[in-house]
Amino acid sequence: MSEDINGYSALTDIFVRECSDILGENLMGVYLHGSAVMGCFNPDKSDIDLIVVVRDTVPDDRKRRFMEMVVTLNEKAPAKGIEMSIVKAGVCRPFAYPTPFELHFSSGTLGWYKSDPEGYIQNMKGEDKDLAAHFMIITNRGKTLYGKPIEEVFGEVDRAHYLDSIWSDIENAEEDILDNAMYIILNLTRVLAYCREGLILSKKEGGEWGMENIPERYRVMINTALEEYSSAEKAEYDDRLAVEYVGYMLSEIRAYICE
């Protein structure tokens, strides 16, 4: 077992072993993305982001075993838990958008699973625009935990699809900013960094980019978000300035989305 760095490596080792046992020859690979591969994992603020790639459809009996496994592991995970999707190799290369998935789990869906596990198995499948952003991080910064190398499994995510994916994640920022300021502030900086310079950044890296590239009047607020992101504490923000900041950032980003 690998060294348990920041509270996730031992857990991902178990996840990989269980995936192999449950999915058998259908398993093509397990890939880590998100803060764990971008140098800014915080056990108080980060989840463990995983993509499982399979060769063919996963039968319901295997999905049941898989969900029992991932829910058990989620109880041992850091605060925000595990977020993972199972996808077929055929939608990874060439990349399909919006991207179909076989199964998804996050702490946000745990209540549904516990209240109706059979309904969850039957209905937790479909298409997810967020997978374009996840695949982009995997192809640029991800880590293979098991199976075939990333470059053999994942095709290119084109700019238009990636922009649509990240826009869907921020389009409600004006409504969300007062409830989740830290996430919105840093997420907007990394989105604009991609729009302007093609950079694939973590929220922390996005905030650091913002400190150099966003108008000075917003930099104290960005720095506050960076400090909150790296700690276990919750910060306070100037609500009027935060709303103004979101308006400015969305206006800048829209200019690239609408090109």
Q: What is the mean pLDDT of the chain?
A: 94
pLDDT per position as a tens digit, 69-93: 999 999 999 888 999 999 999 999 9
pLDDT over threshold 70, residue 225: yes
Band the pLDDT of 221: cuts 50, 70, 90.
very high
Band the pLDDT of 243: cuts 50, 70, 90.
very high
| Prediction pTM value | 0.93
pLDDT per position as a tens digit, 111-151: 999 999 999 999 999 999 999 999 999 999 999 999 999 99
Phi, psi of 166 (to 5 degrees): -75, -30
Band the pLDDT of 259: cuts 50, 70, 90.
low
For residues 146 and 140, give the distance between their C-alpha atoms in angstroms, rounded to a whole number.
17
- 114: helix, strand or coil: helix
Domain locations along the chain? 5-157, 171-257
Under 8 Å between Cβ of 145 and 31: yes
What proportion of the chain, given as a percentage, has pLDDT over 70?
97
What pLDDT does residue 258 have? 73
DSSP secondary structure, 49-84, as one string: EEEEEESSPPPHHHHHHHHHHHHHHHTTS-TT-EEE
Which of the four CATH numbers 3.30.420, 2.30.30, 3.30.460, 1.10.3470 does domain 5-157 have? 3.30.460
- The single residue listed with the structure tokens 């374009």 is 132
